[in-house]
């Protein structure tokens, strides 16, 4: 579906730094499957969802798209959503539990759990993905997510 960087805007930086960030993000988004997820150390945590878990994720995608359409977000699909072993999220991110959305490569990581936990976490992270994103390049040339949200 979406094959372009998720940034709606980049704040700060030189035109060259902005161009480089867009190019780097576009290359990350062009990758498929586990390659898109990124770092090799993550692969050992990825598990295949059961049919019930996949259905919970698909229903969360449908819900997130309904909210996105209503409030001006972008439509998303169920690609590049990765289920990981319980306890892996705190090892892979600053989050202590549940999951996370990587705006740079547009991947979602959700920790294993029952279908209710997966549904709630997926919906939460999918709303991040469907939202407005801006990146910021600071005075040292470092980039980071600057703002994210849906207009209401």
pLDDT for position 58: 96
Q: Which residues of the chain have pLDDT under 50?
A: 1-4, 151-152
- Output the pLDDT for position 25: 74
Give the model's pLDDT for residue 91: 83
**What's residue 152's pLDDT?**
41
Residue 146 has a pLDDT of: 61
Query: Residue 41 corresponds to which tokens in the numbers above?
Result: 């150390």
Retrieve residue 3's tokens: 């094959």
Backbone angles phi, psi at 124, to 5 degrees: -60, -50
pLDDT at residue 86, as a whole number: 92
What's residue 138's pLDDT? 83
**For residue 4, what pLDDT is reported?**
47
| 135 neighbors 143 (Cβ within 8 angstroms) | yes
137 touches 12 (CB < 8 A):
yes
128 phi/psi in degrees, rounded to 5: -60, -45
Query: Looking at residue 73, what is its pLDDT?
Result: 77
Please state the φ and ψ torsions of residue 133, each to the nearest 5 degrees.
Answer: -135, 135
Residue 127: phi, psi to the nearest 5? -65, -35
The confidence score (pLDDT) of residue 93 equals: 79
Structure tokens at 63: 């819900």
């Amino acid at each position: 579906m979406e094959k372009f960087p998720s940034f709606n805007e980049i704040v700060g930086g030189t035109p060259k730094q902005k161009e480089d960030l867009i190019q780097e993000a576009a290359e990350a988004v062009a990758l498929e499957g586990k390659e898109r997820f990124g770092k090799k150390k993550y692969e050992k945590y990825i598990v295949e969802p059961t049919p019930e878990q996949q259905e919970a994720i698909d229903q969360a995608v449908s819900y997130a798209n309904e909210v996105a359409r209503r409030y001006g977000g972008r439509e998303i699909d169920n690609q590049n959503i990765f289920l990981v072993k319980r306890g892996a999220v705190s090892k892979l991110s600053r989050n202590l539990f549940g999951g996370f959305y990587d705006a740079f490569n547009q991947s979602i990581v959700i920790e294993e759990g029952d279908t209710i936990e997966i549904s709630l976490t997926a919906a939460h992270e999918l709303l991040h993905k469907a939202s407005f994103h801006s990146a910021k390049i600071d005075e040292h040339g470092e980039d980071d997510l600057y703002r994210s949200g849906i207009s209401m």
